[in-house]
Structure 1
Amino acid sequence: MAELHRLPATTTDGECVFCAIGSGRAPAAFVHEDEEFVAIADLRPVTTGHLLVLPRAHAADLAALPPSAGARMFTIAQELAAALRRTDLRCEAVNLFLADGEAAGQEIPHVHLHVIPRFPGDGFVLEADWRVRSREELTEVAAQVRAAR
């Protein structure tokens, strides 16, 4: 699979591109704006109507976002997903997708939540080893996560 051209993470003067959008210093097609968040049409959409919800204040990743802001980000995404279904855009389903860190595919180090309209044959695929795991493995994973909370 060919590597996609990566988006610049900063503006020409070195500012985080999503901070520049959130502050109005960079252009975007806005679908939501409030004091804390903006939502925009994605520049490189998976499908037509693909949106991004991002905080105005810089937070590099999900851990840097206060829990109340994380909840608000998902609430906005839920509202936008419902709005997408009411449009004439092709939207038979919706994926919410958050890439948290470079290894997860996060290209711009400013937390953002994708709201992606879906339909059969749209070309968006997540590949993984989906095999069923043993109860012992699941119990060990759960124990490690509980201990780290």
Structure 2
Amino acid sequence: MAGTAAARVVRRWPDALALHPLGPVTPGHLLVVPLRHVPDVTTDPEVSAALMRRVAEIATPPCNVITSAGEVATQTVFHAHLHVLPRSCGDGLLLPWSIPAADSGPPPPRRNSL
């Protein structure tokens, strides 16, 4: 049943919660979740802006703020949320775009845009 899972709430606002996820990927990993249901951050700009405002209140650099919209984009929970991932040197967390693709061959030639 929705709303019955135990959660360690870190901060509560009138429009959102910050909580510890069940499987944190870095120490201090938090989820910031709106209380109003929207499937993802593309659904309602007002909810998304308020959610980012809450992240700005609790996040401390260095950090990543990450979300996904849609199954193809790796979204598995269809309620908008932002991951706040504190970072430190050597924490071992690699983001997909920071890993060179294996066997991708040489980069394509650059075209002159002039």
2:48 aligned to which of 47, 54, 70: 70
2:89 corresponds to 1:123: no
- Give the drift of 1:60: 0.9
Distance (Å, rounded) in 2 between the aligned partners of 1:134 and 1:79: 43
Partner of 1:147: none
Unaligned runs of 5+ in 1: 1-12, 86-92, 137-149
Of residues 51, 63, 69 in structure 2, which corresponds to 1:100?
A: 69
| TM-score between the two structures when normalised by the length of structure 1 | 0.61
Structure richer in helix, relative to its length: 1
Hey, what does 1:29 align to over in structure 2?
Answer: 8
Gaps (5+ residues) in structure 2? 102-106
Give the number of the structure whose residues are more often strand, by fraction.
2
Per-residue CA distance 1:85-135 (angstroms, 9 max, x = gap): 6xxxxxxx1000011112222111111000000012212112336979758
Within the candidate set 100, 104, 111, 2:80 is matched to: 111
- Same amino acid, percent of matched pairs: 35
> 1:48 offset after TM fit, Å?
1.1
What is the deviation of 1:63?
2.1
For residue 72 of structure 1, report the CA deviation from its aligned partner. Answer: 1.2
